[in-house]
Structures are given as structure tokens and as C-alpha cells.
């Protein structure tokens, strides 16, 4: 059986789905939208790029464009996230990750939570494919169970082809343990913030386009900055630890352009700052 989000939720109860996630640190190959919808969202992104410029790795893009916000808040996605972190969900960040065809861009072995500054790990990331993510195009690779070891040492590297901000890399990872996570357009993987993951260069003749989405539980706190932001997308926020991100009224709304630029600067500042002792 090919698992889709609908089948997953129907045939796996909450404890089973969460247990698989807790055991491996990820679940993959879940259909969030169909291939036609994925193509429509890809085309929307590429039309914006033609006017606005590259969207690769622009943080908080859901505060600027409707398409990524629609995908990040899709019922199928939120239903899965709810199984993993509970009914109250904050949308923390959304960005496109694009590897152009035939380029050397890659992502080294790393853990997301190393640089986000949160006080706990009730978080999950979704990687949604808008183009084929295959071995050839450089799909994600995961190390099953690696999240159980917690934070690992990251070394900063000088590698212009590394997509990560500072080239941060966990060294000595056993490649033999890596599991490929290929995705068809519209499918997604969900991984824990301590799960070691990476991806190789795109050797295909098509762009590899993914939407990267981070969800957090409202009780989490930001330890690096007093003015971090998020968006409530399901349930209640009884803690108010984060300022509120606003959805755009329409694509490239002038006020939203200014807000997104400020939010992106803050996000990068947080990511690069050292964790408080």
C-alpha cells in the first residue's frame, strides 16, 4: 500500500503514528496534495520569482505569499502535525528550498534545533515536494533514530555550495545508515528537530523545489530573542510566548514586503546567535 496522509490517519491511530515518528525521527511519503495541485503551486511560485526575484531560502515567506501559507495550513498537513505535537499548533517558519538543475548545491548533515533557540523539542518540520525529489535530484536523507541522541556537535565549514547559513556540519555520520526519502510532487516528509538529515546535489535536468515548514507547540519559548514571532494555525495559544505573524492580504502586498524583510533579518539573527548558557 502507498501511504497517503488520508490512509495514514485512517489506519494508524494517534499513538501508532506518533510512535513511528518517535522511533525513527521521521515519517515520509505522505500525500498532502495531488500532483496537479502541486504543479499549480509550483507555477504560482515561479510566476512570483519572475517579478520579485529568487525565493530560495527566504524566511517567513508565508507572511508575503498566499500559496506557501495555504500549503503550510492545509488540513492534511495539520492533521498529521496534530498527531505528532498535539492539537495546539504554531506555524513558526516557511521557506522554499530550491536546488537548480545540474548545480553543486547540497545540504550537509545537521540538526535543525541546533540553531533555533527553543527551550524544548516539541516541534516538527514538514518538507513538501513541489517537483520530483529523487535520488538523482538530491532528495532528503535521514539517519533513523538519530534524534534520540539529542544535540550533536556541529562544525562550521567554508563551503559556498552548502545551502545552510553557516555550513554547519555534523562530522563522522555513517552514510551506510542513511535512508533516502524520495517524494513525488505533493508528497511530504515530517522530521524531528534532532533528526540528522542531509541531501546531495541535484544532478537531474529539473529544479528540485521543496517547501520547508516548521511547526511548534505554543508552550515552547525562544531563548535567543525576546521578539520572535509565529502564527497560530490550529487550536489555542494559552502562553503567548511569541509575537503574531500576519498573513498577507494578497501576494506581494507592500506592507507585507516590509514586514517579511524585517522578519527574515530577525530569523537569521536568531539562527546565527549562540545559545544562552
Predicted confidence (pLDDT) at residue 1 exceeds the cutoff of 50:
no
Q: Which of 242, 224, 223, 222 is nearest to 232 (CA)?
A: 242
Domain membership flag for residue 52: yes
Q: What is the mean pLDDT of residues 203-214?
A: 97
Residue 184, exposed/middle/buried by CB under 10 A (0-12, 13-18, 19+)?
A: middle
> How far apart, in whole angstroms, are the C-alpha atoms of residue 24 and residue 178?
12
> How far apart, in whole angstroms, are the C-alpha atoms of residue 167 and residue 140?
17
The 10 Å Cβ neighbour count of residue 136 is 16
In three state form, how does the secondary structure of 36-86 look?
A: HHHHHHHHHHHHHHHHHCCCECCCCHHHCCHHHHHHHCCHHHHHHHHHHHC
The 10 Å Cβ neighbour count of residue 257 is 13
The 10 Å Cβ neighbour count of residue 223 is 15
Q: What range does the domain containing 175 cover?
A: 5-272
pLDDT tens digit sequence for 237-270: 999 999 999 999 999 999 999 999 999 999 989 9
What confidence score (pLDDT) does residue 11 get?
46
Mean of all residue pLDDT scores within the chain: 89
Q: Which of 49, 67, 121, 55 is nearest to 92 (CA)?
A: 121
Coil, helix or strand at residue 185: coil
Q: What is the mean pLDDT of residues 91-111?
A: 90
> How far apart, in whole angstroms, are the C-alpha atoms of residue 217 and residue 227?
17
Predicted confidence (pLDDT) at residue 7 exceeds the cutoff of 70:
no
pLDDT tens digit sequence for 109-146: 888 888 889 999 999 999 999 999 999 999 999 999 98
pLDDT tens digit sequence for 42-96: 999 999 999 999 999 999 999 999 999 999 999 999 999 999 999 999 999 999 9
Task: Provide the pLDDT confidence category of residue 166 given band limits of 50, 70 and 90.
Answer: low
The mean-pLDDT minimum among 54-58, 69-73, 174-178, 209-213 falls in 174-178
Domain membership flag for residue 108: yes
Helix (H) or strand (E) holding 269: helix 254-272
pLDDT tens digit sequence for 192-201: 999 998 888 9
Phi and psi for 176 in degrees, rounded to 5? Answer: -65, -20
What confidence score (pLDDT) does residue 112 get?
84
- Cβ 242 vs Cβ 258: under 8 Å: no
What confidence score (pLDDT) does residue 115 get?
83
Predicted confidence (pLDDT) at residue 149 exceeds the cutoff of 90:
no
Cell numbers found for residue 13? 491511530
Tell me how many domains the chain contains: 1
What confidence score (pLDDT) does residue 168 get?
73
The pTM score is 0.92
Residue 29 DSSP class: E
Residue 201 DSSP class: -
Predicted confidence (pLDDT) at residue 10 exceeds the cutoff of 60:
no
Q: What is the mean pLDDT of residues 162-173?
A: 69
The CATH number assigned to the domain holding 141 equals: 2.60.120.620
Strand partners, 98: 209
> How far apart, in whole angstroms, are the C-alpha atoms of residue 109 and residue 167?
10
Predicted confidence (pLDDT) at residue 30 exceeds the cutoff of 50:
yes
Predicted confidence (pLDDT) at residue 183 exceeds the cutoff of 50:
yes
Domain membership flag for residue 277: no
Amino acid at each position: 500500500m502507498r501511504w497517503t496522509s488520508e490512509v495514514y490517519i485512517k489506519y494508524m491511530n494517534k499513538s501508532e503514528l506518533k510512535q513511528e515518528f518517535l522511533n525513527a525521527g521521521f515519517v515520509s511519503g505522505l500525500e498532502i496534495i495531488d500532483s496537479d495541485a502541486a504543479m499549480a503551486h509550483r507555477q504560482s511560485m515561479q510566476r512570483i520569482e519572475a517579478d520579485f526575484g529568487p525565493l530560495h531560502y527566504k524566511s517567513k515567506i508565508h507572511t508575503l505569499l498566499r500559496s506557501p501559507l495555504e500549503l503550510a495550513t492545509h488540513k492534511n498537513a495539520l492533521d498529521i502535525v496534530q498527531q505528532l505535537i498535539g492539537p495546539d499548533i504554531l506555524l513558526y517558519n516557511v521557506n522554499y528550498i530550491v536546488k537548480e538543475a545540474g548545480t553543486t548545491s547540497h545540504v550537509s548533515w545537521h540538526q535543525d534545533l541546533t540553531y533555533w533557540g527553543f527551550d524544548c523539542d516539541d516541534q516538527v518540520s514538514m518538507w513538501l515536494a513541489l517537483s520530483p525529489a529523487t535520488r538523482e535530484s538530491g532528495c532528503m536523507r535521514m539517519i533513523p533514530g538519530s534524534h534520540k541522541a539529542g544535540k550533536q556537535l556541529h562544525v562550521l565549514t567554508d563551503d559556498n555550495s552548502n545551502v545552510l547559513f553557516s555550513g554547519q556540519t555534523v562530522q563522522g555520520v555513517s552514510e551506510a545508515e542513511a535512508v533516502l526519502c524520495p517524494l513525488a510532487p505533493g508528497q511530504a516528509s515530517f522530521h524531528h528537530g534532532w533528526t540528522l538529515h542531509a541531501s546531495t546535489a541535484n544532478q537531474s535536468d529539473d529544479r528540485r523545489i521543496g517547501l520547508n515548514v516548521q511547526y511548534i507547540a505554543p508552550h515552547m519559548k525562544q531563548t535567543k530573542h525576546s521578539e520572535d514571532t509565529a502564527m497560530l494555525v490550529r487550536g489555542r495559544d494559552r502562553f503567548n510566548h511569541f509575537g503574531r505573524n500576519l498573513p498577507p492580504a494578497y501576494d506581494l502586498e507592500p506592507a507585507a514586503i516590509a514586514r517579511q524583510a524585517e522578519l527574515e533579518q530577525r530569523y537569521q539573527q536568531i539562527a546565527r546567535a549562540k545559545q544562552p548558557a
